[in-house]
Amino acid sequence: MSVTQVPAVEAFYHALTGAYAYLAYDPRTREGVIIDPVLDFDRRSGVVETVAAEQMLARIRELQLQIPMILETHAHADHLSAAAYMKDALGCQVATGAGVCQVQITAAHMFDLEPGFATDGSQFERLWNAGECFRVSAIACSVVATPGHTPDSVTYLIGDCAFVGDTLFLPYLGTARCDFPGASAADLYDSIRKLYRLPDATRVMVGHDYPQASGDAAYCSDLSSEKQANTHLSAATKREDFIAFREDRDRTLPLPELFFFALQVNVRAGRFPAEAANGTRQLHVPLHLPEQWPG
């Protein structure tokens, strides 16, 4: 049997967060995976909607795809995952990197999550370790640990494509920030260097773009272009120079608007907290008061 190494890829841009979700599938057998699906969330009102997720589901139905698995590249801090919603709609599994357990421990402490909150990754059906392999029908796939932006970040190699999450952006945007809990500019440098050892023709499917107009958003690069022209980390960039640059730049960046909300949902594989005593579901924002604030 011949092995297909080139998946069909469709990108879904979420203009509110600048995030990309993907469908990657074998066009012959119509089996595929979802990568990094997005929920619509208004932090001002607390309203959750499923417009973006339903667009993906409509396309899945149109293409008559079979989706056994949803793949998360990391516990995102800038959008809420639609993994649980789409899992319920499709009857599939949700998978992420095993490093999510470290993020769960951080989130449990940061938000004082419920005593029974599990920090063993059991909210996900599958936790990937570095180097594990799987298939999307006839397409060979593997998992590359790419920590740095977050400790749980992984890249999915699906045929000739690398779904890099927030590890690497389009050349003009550079690389991801490294100032979240457990993040490391040194780790990010090493992770990107690992990716740069892949074939130059490898297609790079990024997790974000931030164009002036959403219609101009782009999602695909290749490793040859990244190594030649990535504005933060090219093939010629020295490790110590990148670390100094990344740490200096990160000190100037504001926290993502959905940081506190997204983490509480995404460490739960896209589920929301249980109902509170008043029948509502709530996400919490920790306060940082002045030292002398009266009790």
If you average pLDDT over residues 217-237, what whole number do you get?
A: 97
pLDDT reported for residue 160: 96
pLDDT tier, 54 (very low <50, low <70, confident <90, very high otherwise)? very high
* CA neighbor of 153 nearest in space, from 139, 167, 137: 167
Tokens of 10: 């469709």
Q: Which residues contact 234 (CB under 8 A, 6 or more apart)?
A: 226, 227, 228
User: Is the pLDDT reported for residue 52 higher than 50?
Assistant: yes
pTM above 0.85, yes or no: yes
Q: Which residue has the tokens 């069909």?
A: 8
pLDDT tier, 164 (very low <50, low <70, confident <90, very high otherwise)? very high
Chain mean pLDDT for the chain = 96
pLDDT reported for residue 1: 35
pLDDT reported for residue 2: 43
User: Is the pLDDT reported for residue 260 higher than 70?
Assistant: yes
pLDDT tens per residue, range 269-279: 999 999 999 99
pLDDT tens per residue, range 85-121: 999 999 999 999 999 999 999 999 999 999 999 999 9
**Sign of the dihedral through C-alpha 43, 47, 48, 49:** negative
| Cα separation, 209 vs 18, whole angstroms | 6
* CA neighbor of 202 nearest in space, from 226, 175, 234, 182: 226
CATH for the 8-266 domain, from 3.40.50.150, 3.60.15.10, 3.30.342.10, 1.10.10.10: 3.60.15.10
